[in-house]
Amino acid sequence: MVALKQYYGNYWKLLFDSNVGKTNSPNGSGVWSKKEWVLPEIDGDDIVSAYEDNSNLFWAERFGKQFLGRCVGCASIGDTPAALSAYCASAGIPPIVVLPVDKIYVPQLVQPIANGPFVLSINTDLDGCMQLIREVAAEKPIYLANSLNNLRLEDKKTAVEILQKYDWEIPHWVIVLGGNLGNIYFGWMEFKPMKANTTFTSAIQIGDPV
């Protein structure tokens, strides 16, 4: 984590504490208020945010068209299509969702449909859906929103929010859903680099990542 090495731990604590919970974009987002760790070079006008992870007022502002491209797509048997469709609706970007037939629950189908995506249900499993959306994204201007996208994994770095909520003391256990294990990845992306950086660990109490 290059950004982590540039400043002492107290700098990051003060920065994130001053950003969190604000009502302006992108700091109103629990994710993008840590954009210095996620994608420091991105311009604030290119961020699509629903002010996630914080209890702020919600603005459906249209950001990110140039950054995300002409269309956003995903394949999933989980909750990704619902989140993708909601963000695309806020940004005015057309979403494409590829789902396997009879492999998802009705609420998982209704939620994305409510936001107006193009939903394609095919007679295959999740791997078949992923293969299809990847092939289409390789030929058409479609931004792939699955965990194959490195940025989708980079945002796991904002798990530093957990430390903030524990007054900068790491909990003994962090339990997350498995799925395709993208969420598990944050344990390495977040806690291990912080533990290895002496300037950061001198300012907080970090144990071994679980």
pLDDT score for 93? 87
pLDDT score for 60? 45
Q: CA 17, CA 14: separation in Å to the nearest integer?
A: 5
Peptide bond into 141 cis (omega under 30): no
Q: Where along the chain do its domains lie?
A: 2-61+152-201, 71-140
* CATH numeric code, 2-61+152-201: 3.40.50.1100
Residue 63 has pLDDT above 50, yes or no: no
Q: Residues of the chain with pLDDT > 70: what percent? A: 70
Q: CA 122, CA 86: separation in Å to the nearest integer?
A: 22
Lowest mean pLDDT among 17-31, 122-136, 150-164: 150-164
pLDDT score for 73? 92
**Cβ contact 9:202 at 8 Å:** yes
Q: CA 74, CA 103: separation in Å to the nearest integer?
A: 15
Domains 2-61+152-201 and 71-140 share a fold: yes
Lowest mean pLDDT among 7-21, 111-125, 165-179, 190-204: 190-204
* CATH numeric code, 71-140: 3.40.50.1100
Going by pLDDT thresholds of 50, 70 and 90, the confidence category of residue 209 is very low
List CB contacts of 77: < 8 A, sequence separation 6 or more: 99, 100, 103, 104, 108, 126
Q: CA 134, CA 202: separation in Å to the nearest integer?
A: 44
Residue 97 has pLDDT above 80, yes or no: yes
